[in-house]
Chains A and B, each alone.
Chain A
Amino acid sequence: MSTVVWALVVLGSLGLVFGVLLAVAGKIFAVEKDPKEAAVRAAVAGANCGACGYPGCDGYAAAVIRGEAPVNSCVPGGQAAAEKIASIMGVEAGGSERYVAFVRCSGTAGHTKEKFSYEGPSSCLAASRLGGGSGANVCTAGCMGFGDCVAACQFDAMHIVDGIAKVNRKKCVGCMKCAEACPKKLITKVPYGATDIVACNSTEKGAAVRKFCDFGCIGCGLCKKECPVDAITVENNLAVIDQSKCIHCGHCSDICPRHIIRDKR
């Protein structure tokens, strides 16, 4: 009998002590949460895309409250979310420039050479592990068109057209999930209004590019000479246009012998 009583007493008091301990600890270690944080969290788009640079929407909301993050960093939420957050925080929203994804490849089906016929999982990641890292393509930099980016896109903005990935700018929110999924790191962030972008990622020499792709950048540098604002650099046989300097005059796209700036094929 005494055993039962002891068991009751010991476990009961153990439970009581622990209960009190937790109650006290709950008071001591209470973390005050700013009610504003919940409001900011409600105002953002909630895609948990990470385009703002913080771990998820909760992370961004916490960073805004701490004053570390600007109020207009929510890319999917755009201007509407920026204004809401700004009104919660009591600051001006400022312009939230819209960015979209861009696939730097022009090698559509039939215009690129293949090394072999690829029969395997329909995945860029899997194909990129084979045959020198380009699937069946000769070009090691180009889009393989299996659509890992399409699968990654939560906004139906990415599609495979003519064997390469293409971004629908109207739908793209610039979360760059596609860029993470792309094993070729082909996809970059460009301003929504950007028109002049070199749609190629190959750093091969011009002569080699000509052999395997009808459209790849050959690094001739004509665009660089033509550019009135020095926005273009040619490095490793690849022209790159600095979008912050570009004035959208279109001279480079007129001169490009490969017609891959402003897609003039």
Chain B
Amino acid sequence: MLTSLISISLGAILINNFIFSQFLGCCPFLGCSNKMSTATGMSVAVIFVMTLASAMCWIVNQYLLVPLKLDFMQTVAYILVIAVLVQFVEMFLKKSIPSLYSAMGIYLPLITTNCAVLGVVLLNTEKSYNFLESTVYGCTGGIGFALAIILFASVRERLEFADYPKAFAGFSICLVSASLFALAFMGFSGLKIF
């Protein structure tokens, strides 16, 4: 059990990193990596939402969709669940834990419609993980996202001072460095521990 959880975590963080290997969640990855502070804010929100969404969607799938043979409605149902979940959590946090609410700020509602969040729940179903495995996969997938965006933010802060050709200025140099990152992460693809 433990070994499977560890291999799931390692897979989600390094080998099948959500951004660099599966290309999910590229929008916030490029949009929120200007500064380290926004990158960390986004990462915390992503980890939080992906963990919760994995757990909730597993329950909905297992006890509602599968018994009624409505598997084909998964995508629609998951979108609904995620949207409601984020809304609910936001309300709850605003009232009960205002400090956490203000720490996550704008990023919490922003990632409701993110493909990484929907991606993680669909992958959970596809790989037929159980409840614990799904939750761990969601959480570590979020951590993988955090690793990627935080690393990338630090590179972008250095890029400000780099001497690159003018034609590359702005978004182009970002995409180039992101692809180099993805290449580097390909190095993990051969990693096998169990």
Task: Give the contacting residue for B73; candidates A10, A29, A30, A31; CB below 8 A.
Answer: A10
Q: Are A29 and B95 in contact (CB under 8 A)?
A: yes
Name the prevailing secondary structure of the A interface residues.
helix
Q: How far is the CB of A191 from chain B (nearest CB, A)?
A: 31
Q: How far is the CB of A131 from chain B (nearest CB, A)?
A: 15
| A29-B89 Cα distance, complex, nearest whole Å | 10
B69 located at the interface, meaning its Cβ lies under 8 Å from any Cβ of chain A in the complex: yes
Interface size for B (C-beta < 8 A) is: 22
Q: Which residues of B contact A6 (CB under 8 A)?
A: 68-70
B76 located at the interface, meaning its Cβ lies under 8 Å from any Cβ of chain A in the complex: yes
Beta-carbon contacts under 8 Å, A8-32 to B: 10-11, 14-15, 18, 21-22, 25-26, 28-31
B176 located at the interface, meaning its Cβ lies under 8 Å from any Cβ of chain A in the complex: no
Q: Are A31 and B94 in contact (CB under 8 A)?
A: yes
Q: Are B161 and A126 in contact (CB under 8 A)?
A: yes
B175 located at the interface, meaning its Cβ lies under 8 Å from any Cβ of chain A in the complex: no
A7 located at the interface, meaning its Cβ lies under 8 Å from any Cβ of chain B in the complex: yes
| Complex A-B, nearest 4 residue pairs according to Cβ-Cβ distance, in ascending order | A29-B95, A29-B91, A18-B84, A121-B161
Q: A18-B84, A25-B88 are in contact. List 18 more A-B contacts (CB 8 A).
A: A3-B70, A6-B68, A6-B69, A7-B73, A10-B68, A10-B70, A11-B73, A14-B80, A18-B80, A18-B81, A28-B95, A29-B91, A29-B92, A29-B94, A29-B96, A31-B95, A120-B161, A125-B161
Task: Give the contacting residue for A22; candidates B60, B84, B102, B163; CB below 8 A.
Answer: B84
Q: Which residues of B contact A30 (CB under 8 A)?
A: 95
A123 located at the interface, meaning its Cβ lies under 8 Å from any Cβ of chain B in the complex: yes
Interface centre among B76, B91, B163 (most CB of A within 10 A): B91
Q: Are A123 and B76 in contact (CB under 8 A)?
A: no
Q: Are A11 and B161 in contact (CB under 8 A)?
A: no
| A11-B71 Cα distance, complex, nearest whole Å | 12
Q: Which residues of A contact B62 (CB under 8 A)?
A: none
Q: Are B84 and A11 in contact (CB under 8 A)?
A: no
| A121-B157 Cα distance, complex, nearest whole Å | 14
Interface size for A (C-beta < 8 A) is: 22
Interface string of B65-91 (1 = CB under 8 A from A): 100111001001100110010011001
Q: Are B68 and A11 in contact (CB under 8 A)?
A: no
Q: Which residues of B contact A31 (CB under 8 A)?
A: 94-95
The closest CB in chain A to the CB of B83 belongs to: A18
The closest CB in chain A to the CB of B87 belongs to: A22
| A192-B10 Cα distance, complex, nearest whole Å | 58
Q: How far is the CB of A227 from chain B (nearest CB, A)?
A: 43
B64 located at the interface, meaning its Cβ lies under 8 Å from any Cβ of chain A in the complex: yes
The closest CB in chain A to the CB of B94 belongs to: A31
| A25-B91 Cα distance, complex, nearest whole Å | 7
The closest CB in chain B to the CB of A58 belongs to: B102
Q: Are B80 and A21 in contact (CB under 8 A)?
A: no
Known A-B contacts A10-B64, A18-B80, A18-B84; A25 and B92 likewise in contact (beta carbons under 8 Å): yes
| A121-B163 Cα distance, complex, nearest whole Å | 8
